[in-house]
Amino acid sequence: MHSRRILNMPNGAPPTGETPISTRSTRVLYTRAAAAPWAWIAAIVIPVLLLAPAIWNGYPLLEYDTGGYLARWYEGYLEPSRSTVYGIYLHLGKDSFFWLNLACQALLTLWILHLTLRVLSLAQPLRLLAIAVILTLATALPWLASMLLTDIFAGLGVLALFILVVHNGKLSTIERVSLFLYTSFAAATHTATFGVLLGLCCAGWVVKPWLGRRLPIAGLIQGCLTLVAGAAMLLAANYALSGRLAWTPGGAGVSFGRMMQDGIVARYLNDHCDKIKLKLCPYRNQLPATADDFLWGNDSVFNKLGRFEGMNGEMEFIATQALAAYPLWQTEAAVEATAEQLVQVGTGEGTTGWIPHTYGIIERYLPEQVKAMRAARQQHWNIKFAAINWIHIPVALTSMLLLAGIALAALWRRRLDDVELLAATVCVALLGNAFICGVISGPHNRYGARMVWIATFVVLIAAARSLANRYGSASRPA
């Protein structure tokens, strides 16, 4: 009908204020042709930016906990807080000196960043590249992508779950299946990540009556099923490597450490050692000041009493009994730990030149890599995070404040668009992460840094949308 009207106009001119279909088609083709080179540039440059720290280092970045994951394939038993799923993932890349693992991490990051922009109708190659550059310079993201550790999957898991639940209908079948498998894998790599994703699914069902069709039931069901699949994946990996159908151990021991750090364990021992005979009673006045010193110190009482094998039962008993004995103190400690964890967001914790356990695991099981590992800049103490954190910490804290502002403004208006719903989701994820990690393990910069970069990402998305609306910039296929 529209084309007939154009043909009937004098000289074939369109009605005033209307654009001929052929002209619009030409513009779309021109826009796609102009975007194509940038799409290739973004696809090549962004993974390189994400892996820049590892490339500069000359070897994948290592962390204090890396060795525990690496050893899972070789040692045949379950280690507290060390996922066998991530251990198998690392083992698959050992012949490439783990560069294959880093490539996967970089490409997965690129994919999920792009997919997030696409479902929000903001996918432009140049925009994606600009956001990636800012995230590379101002957040922990490239350090996470360049490291042999589960942390990169925590923030990406939140974004993947959001896309799968909220924008399920915008995905192709292969994208939906791939995102489902990735989210399941992310959940299986760390119990804290599993907990955050579980909390988001529970929150989704709670707010479903208010958000209606914005949260499709099919999407919520798929989101929950990713956790079922992730749990099955972890149990299967644990059984395959250890012969035990069990969850990754360590929760009680880690919680005990946090309670000890808060002084709760010492109080419990002083109150009950005259009635209950516990291994720790003779050492109740020798407990170290921090959980890290207790669990990982060389001359710790924990080592003398048999570490996790000798102390798991007693630590679980004390943690459970102390929880019931001092509920108000536990509540106050939990609130303080959550608040402290929210602001502990510095990059680089545990990524130093002194990681003897990880070195020992590589020397024992991967001797062919020792030379390359020892030659890396990290092992020569050449990575200095103090200067980096002069940028990263203020950016992270500012991003969280702006993110909360975006979410609260939307709630005040009682209307959430797609970007504001993502902002609210990330706020819940950050709070959940701070609670789980702060209360169970005690506050650490590493736990905050692995998640807070997605706050910066969402703030950049909101800024990009504002600029697009202001200057009339349409989304171009990326």
pTM for the predicted model, two decimal places:
0.88
In whole angstroms, give the CA distance from residue 24 to residue 14: 12
Q: What is the pLDDT of residue 18?
A: 47
* Lowest-confidence pick of 85-94, 149-158, 201-210, 280-289: 280-289
Q: Any residues with CB less than 8 A from the CB of 30 and at least 6 apart, and which?
A: none
For 130-140, write each residue's pLDDT tens digit. 999 999 999 99
Query: What's the maximum distance between 2 C-alpha atoms anywhere in the chain?
Result: 103
Extract the tokens encoding 161: 């779950």
Assess contact for 418 and 410: CB atoms under 8 A.
Answer: no
Taking residues 360-376, what's their average pLDDT? 96
Specify the DSSP element, H or E, that contains 296: helix 291-296
The residue among 448, 151, 449, 440 whose CA lies nearest residue 291 is: 440
What ranges do the domains of the chain cover? 49-243+339-471, 253-333
Q: Any residues with CB less than 8 A from the CB of 410 and at least 6 apart, and which?
A: 416, 417, 420, 421, 423, 424
Q: What is the pLDDT of residue 137?
A: 97
Taking residues 433-460, what's their average pLDDT? 95
Coil/strand/helix, residue 291: helix
Q: Helix/strand/coil (H, E, C) string of 130-199?
A: HHHHHHHHHCCHHHHHCECCCCHHHHHHHHHHHHHHHCHHHCCHHHHHHHHHHHHHHHHHCHHHHHHHHH
Residue 77 has pLDDT above 70, yes or no: yes
Assess contact for 276 and 242: CB atoms under 8 A.
Answer: no
Q: What is the pLDDT of residue 469?
A: 86
In whole angstroms, give the CA distance from residue 299 to residue 312: 18
Q: In this structure, which amino acid lies at residue 465?
A: R
Residue 435 has pLDDT above 50, yes or no: yes
